[in-house]
Chain A
Amino acid sequence: MMDAIKFVYTVPGDDFSAAGQASADLKSKLKTMGVDPKSLRNIAISLYEGEINLAIHAGGGQITVLVYPDKVQMFLDDEGPGIADIPLAMTEGYSGASDAVRSLGFGAGMGLPNMKKYTDEFDIQSTVGQGTHIKMAVYLKD
């Protein structure tokens, strides 16, 4: 198997204006690589949602991306508050966001469901008080 190309991004927890930078950066790189437009969109959408969640709900975190010829894997790791009820958090429309966050236009409760919907592999592990770990993958087409 060919060596993966690795990108690492740190997402700050206190800077909303920086949110979205990692997914934008990855998107432009994958565009140069000529990733098919549909996969590219799926990657950009799911990573963007994950990135925003890191910034808003987890006080920041880290994104690791591994690019293979046939898939792109994305790992989102944080040491935030964790999620007590994962099935509930995964429900469309459920949001634990504060009013302050909602006033910024986030908090529709669509982030996690969309991450699952737009990826080919999705796994979430979380421990309250310790953090959340998400692993996603999108398969690339010709």
Chain B
Amino acid sequence: MKTYTHSVTLDKDLCQGCINCIKRCPTEAIRVREGKAYIISERCIDCGECIRVCPHHAKKAVYNTLADYTGYKHLVALPAPSLYAQFNNLKDPAPVLAGLLKIGFDSFFEVAKAAELISRATGKIWDKMPKPVISSACPAVVKLIKVRFPRLVDHVLPLVSPMELAARLAKKEVMEKTGLKKEEIGCIFISPCPAKITEINNPIGSKNSSVDGAVAMKDIYPLLLGAMKDISQPPDITAGALGVSWAAGGGESEGIGNTDNYLACDGIENVIRVLEELEDRRFSNIDFVELNACPGGCVGGVLTVENPYIAKTKLKNLGKYMPKSLNSLGKSIPTEMLWDTNLEYSPVFELQGDRIQRFMAYSRLEELLAGLPGLDCGFCGAPTCRCFADDVIRGKAKKSDCVVIMRRQMDEIKSIPE
């Protein structure tokens, strides 16, 4: 079995063992053990929340730099639409695309173009889907649904992400143009977030990704700033405002065209709340749900530079001068856009065993919890007393890891007369 590789990791030297990250992790995937944080792989959705909150910058996203991608004969840049929102006074993305060609890429394929095609494909698959249809563009959200919301798995749009589609189409295009082999072409995504980088190693809806690597937007940004000066012949843009608008929350929904009855929500805590209510069928008249783990959408990704709300405004202004859309699809959806592997629920938060065993285990959990102080102090290394009790029941922690219990036990020993 291929192991799941995350791109969010911990720098042990920088970690002070404080409890900021364990408290903020939306899936309770982090514990502090022996003074250092560690991430429980099956639970991590790579949302980047811990990177945001770590005051010691010990939580990091792992990614390469451009200089690492030397083994290819042709390097294609796959700029996420959020990249365009990082710069001032753009009338269209052409200067950014020109900059990419100057800093070492041989060509580019706009992810915004792939996004426009996905908007079209969504319209075509629409009638076959249970409503509401949930967007599959944010990998952190898809992973969250996979581990926590079994009843919503069938609602997730079974189309590959714009990043993945961009790589597939780019490879084809470059192969035709240059005669190079697939392996000789490197498709590098310019990423706003660790979740997208993780998606490359653990693709959603397919076994292998055509994306060969990723670089962080914030690393490319300074290079581009320099390269975007003195551009004589900017290339033609290949996507319109529609594709570019995917960078901010609500952009994807606007582009669907099948319905106005959509809900767009961003920020992981809000996303969880919406998913809970969706699971209980509380929004009966909504047709489409767009969820982004980051505040404001991808413009709020942890690897971006600009403040997400300013970026959103820039994006809006950019869209004003651009054509609406530059891409359309034929009658049917090409297979390269469709998932070939279904999304399956993986119950990582549930207790294991048959119904009786789970009941007994849960019963012990509640009993144990009733004896804990209920302070949620985090000293045991778990975010809450409940989570700690859960760990103990699963054999992942010892009862005496709770400082209050430990002290009680010490007091009892002391009170025994000699």
Report the minimum CB–CB distance from B256 to chain A (whole Å): 25
A31, CB-defined interface residue at 8 Å: yes
Chain A residues positioned under 8 Å from B309 (CB to CB): none
Asked whether, in the complex, the Cβ of B355 is within 8 Å of the Cβ of A41, the reply is no
Chain A residues positioned under 8 Å from B281 (CB to CB): 41, 45
Contact of A2 among B148, B349, B359 (CB under 8 A): B359
Number of A-B contacts (CB under 8 A): 56
Q: State in angstroms the CA–CA spacing of A52 and B148 once bound together.
A: 25
Asked whether, in the complex, the Cβ of A5 is within 8 Å of the Cβ of B280, the reply is no
Chain B residues positioned under 8 Å from A48 (CB to CB): 280, 282
Asked whether, in the complex, the Cβ of A32 is within 8 Å of the Cβ of B365, the reply is yes
Report the minimum CB–CB distance from B199 to chain A (whole Å): 26
Please report whether the interface of chain B is mostly helix, strand, loop or mixed according to DSSP. helix
**A32-B350, A44-B280 are known contacts. Are A69 and B355 too (CB-CB below 8 A)?**
yes
Report the minimum CB–CB distance from A100 to chain B (whole Å): 21
Asked whether, in the complex, the Cβ of B355 is within 8 Å of the Cβ of A140, the reply is yes
Asked whether, in the complex, the Cβ of B276 is within 8 Å of the Cβ of A34, the reply is no
Contact of B362 among A32, A44, A45 (CB under 8 A): A32
Name B333-386 residues within 8 Å CB distance of A: 347, 349-352, 354-356, 358-360, 362-363, 365-366
B390, CB-defined interface residue at 8 Å: yes
Chain B residues positioned under 8 Å from A140 (CB to CB): 355
Q: State in angstroms the CA–CA spacing of A87 and B244 once bound together.
A: 55
Report the minimum CB–CB distance from A37 to chain B (whole Å): 4
B55, CB-defined interface residue at 8 Å: no
Q: State in angstroms the CA–CA spacing of A27 and B148 once bound together.
A: 12
Asked whether, in the complex, the Cβ of B280 is within 8 Å of the Cβ of A41, the reply is yes
Contact of B280 among A3, A34, A45, A142 (CB under 8 A): A45
Chain A: how many interface residues by the 8 Å CB criterion?
23
Asked whether, in the complex, the Cβ of B276 is within 8 Å of the Cβ of A24, the reply is yes
Q: State in angstroms the CA–CA spacing of A11 and B338 once bound together.
A: 46
When C-beta atoms are compared, the residue in chain A nearest to B363 turns out to be A5
Asked whether, in the complex, the Cβ of B280 is within 8 Å of the Cβ of A33, the reply is no
A70, CB-defined interface residue at 8 Å: yes
Chain B residues positioned under 8 Å from A27 (CB to CB): 276, 280
Chain A residues positioned under 8 Å from B236 (CB to CB): none
**A45-B280, A45-B281, A48-B280 are known contacts. Are A34 and B351 too (CB-CB below 8 A)?**
yes
The 6 closest A-B pairs by CB, nearest first: A34-B350, A69-B359, A33-B362, A34-B358, A37-B150, A44-B280
A residues touching B (Cβ–Cβ < 8 Å)?
A: 2-3, 5, 23-24, 27, 29, 31-34, 37-38, 41, 44-45, 48, 67-70, 140, 142
New contact pairs (8) apart from A2-B359, A34-B351, A41-B281, CB-CB < 8 Å: A24-B276, A31-B350, A38-B151, A41-B151, A41-B279, A41-B280, A48-B282, A69-B355
A-B residue pairs in contact (CB < 8 Å), sample of 14: A2-B360, A2-B363, A31-B148, A34-B347, A34-B352, A41-B151, A41-B281, A44-B279, A45-B281, A67-B359, A67-B362, A140-B355, A142-B354, A142-B355
